[in-house]
Amino acid sequence: MKQSKLITAGFFLLTMTAAALGLSGCASTQAQKTESLLSAAGFHTMTPSTAQQRDCYAALPPFKVQRHDFNGKVVYAYADKKAGTVYVGSEKEYQRYNELAQQQQMADEQVHAAEMNRDAVMNWDYWGPPGVW
């Protein structure tokens, strides 16, 4: 009986570790997707080089597209605090980014639906085919 409790505890620990690692990867994956979409939409990357640019960069929230008025123009900025760069785009690039993000979301939803359908057809649940456990 002790051995089965030990195996159960080990399995639980392994499952929790895998879940924690999986969740920690989600944030960086989302940032990579966002940065890829920003680049595809025409945003330019810049590295702050002057004191004024570094101050502006430091004030930006990390990994979030922000709207700013700069010398009478609307500018969108996204700070990648890991890489020390900022993605900068105009209203046109921002609209393109939104279009691409919507297309990506629809594609992700279609893939998820297809995976769910495949699993339903195979009659698998979360742990695999019936009778394995």
Q: Is residue 91 in some structural domain?
A: yes
Q: Is residue 19 in some structural domain?
A: yes
* Total count of domains within the chain: 1
Query: Is residue 35 pLDDT above 90, yes or no?
Result: yes
Q: Is residue 7 in some structural domain?
A: yes
Q: Is residue 44 in some structural domain?
A: yes
**pTM of the entire predicted model:** 0.65
Which H or E run includes 10?
helix 2-41
User: What average pLDDT does the structure give for the chain?
Assistant: 79
Q: Is residue 82 in some structural domain?
A: yes
Q: Is residue 15 in some structural domain?
A: yes
Q: Which of 29-33, 104-108, 117-121 has the lowest mean pLDDT?
A: 117-121
Q: Using an 8 Å Cβ cutoff, are 88 and 76 in contact?
A: yes
